[in-house]
Amino acid sequence: MPNITDAPPEFVAKELQALSADLDRVIPAKKLDNNLLVATWNIRAFGDLTEQWTQVTAGSPKRNLHALSCIAEIVSRFDVIGIQEVRGNLKCLRDMLRALGPHWSFVMTDVTRGDRGNNERMAFVFDTRKVGLSGLACELVVPEDQDIGENAFARQFARTPYAVAFKTGGQTFILVTLHIYYGAGPEDRIKELKAIAQWLSDWAEEEDAWDHDLIALGDFNIDRIDDPLYRAFTSTGLFTPPELNNVPRTIFSEPGGEDDEKFYDQIAWFANDEGKPKLSMRYGAAGSFDFTKTVMTSLSEQSLSWRISDHYPLWVEFLL
């Protein structure tokens, strides 16, 4: 049976070369001691894997070695990436790490149980040549007096936000990844977003005494800029780089279409507004990466979403 570390077939190798060239054009190069590339990616149903290189036309899952090699090539361009929708089955995650090589590692949550949790976990994957763990890992638990819909002890988040501290050189930073429950409508998300924004604000003030930067990233399921969801998310001073305001989040986006206005995925931090501590790392650039022009171009968007993802990765470069 073929595996991810085998030499790929020629058609896959050529596609990976084209993908690498496209990534070179869009994403800044990694520079030791000079920059830090942080990303977030909701990889659709990132769980099981069919161990073959050719297209999976029948059976499940549709994601195969060809698709996973493309995912690994994209992930390799970042120093640390928060991944949402990692399933209970870790086959894809483990094989991706094998493809990335021995200098890559990960840390993750347990599976979120219950229908609302969708058998998902959240993970950080990072290049140990650049980034190491700083010691802190925790999940957000809401105090009893903070309302997120019902009594906090009766209802916590559908997918609990996950925070991990990393270090690079002399800089320590805390990444908080989350995947907001979509619900029946926007009103189901507002209280969760407000609660997370307040928690991040309080924590940022505490961590500032230790010179720790705090960055939130993930799938916030925000509909559009300056809608009630966005205002809830930014209500305590969280800043989103303007370069991310006009980039598509989903492969189903069409210019001027409904999905083109969605701002599900975000990367945000505090920028010294409202007295909140300013990020000590300097912001460099930001963007998303559209893989649809290079990867598995013969597939429909729906089919591609199950091989790669329905979301684009979002990234930010910080200057050290």
For residue range 221-241, list pLDDT tens digits in order: 776 677 787 788 788 888 889
- pLDDT at position 274, please? 58
Q: What CATH number is attached to the domain comprising 165?
A: 3.60.10.10
Please give the tally of structural domains in the chain.
Answer: 1
- pLDDT at position 201, please? 81
User: Is residue 151 one of the residues assigned to a domain?
Assistant: yes
pLDDT above 90 (res 179): no
pLDDT above 80 (res 19): yes
pTM more than 0.75: yes
pLDDT above 90 (res 79): yes
Q: Which two tokens stand for residue 169?
A: 């050189």
For residue range 114-142, what is the model confidence (pLDDT) as tens digits? 444 456 888 999 999 999 999 888 877 65
For residue range 270-305, what is the model confidence (pLDDT) as tens digits? 876 555 667 888 999 999 999 999 999 999 999 999
User: Is residue 2 one of the residues assigned to a domain?
Assistant: no
User: Is residue 67 one of the residues assigned to a domain?
Assistant: yes
User: Is residue 26 one of the residues assigned to a domain?
Assistant: yes
User: Is residue 116 one of the residues assigned to a domain?
Assistant: yes
- pLDDT at position 177, please? 87
Q: Is 221 exposed, middle or buried (0-12, 13-18, 19+ CB in 10 A)?
A: buried
The proportion of the chain whose per-residue pLDDT surpasses 70, expressed as a percent, equals 82
Mean pLDDT is highest, among 60-64, 103-107, 191-195, 198-202, for: 103-107
Range of the domain at 314: 10-319
- pLDDT at position 190, please? 78
Rounded to whole angstroms, the Cα distance separating 232 from 195 reads 9
* Cβ–Cβ under 8 Å, residues 305 and 291: no
pLDDT above 80 (res 156): no
pLDDT above 80 (res 145): no
- pLDDT at position 33, please? 85
Spatial CA neighbour of 162 closest among 118, 123, 115: 123
- Average of per-residue pLDDT across 17-35: 96
- Average of per-residue pLDDT across 250-269: 75
Rounded mean pLDDT of the chain?
84
Rounded to whole angstroms, the Cα distance separating 313 from 292 reads 12
- pLDDT band of 39, cuts 50, 70, 90: very high
**Alpha carbon separation from 124 to 18, 51, 135, 173 (Å, rounded):** 26, 24, 14, 13
- pLDDT at position 115, please? 47
User: Is residue 4 one of the residues assigned to a domain?
Assistant: no
- pLDDT at position 279, please? 81
- pLDDT at position 152, please? 38
User: Is residue 5 one of the residues assigned to a domain?
Assistant: no
User: Is residue 92 one of the residues assigned to a domain?
Assistant: yes
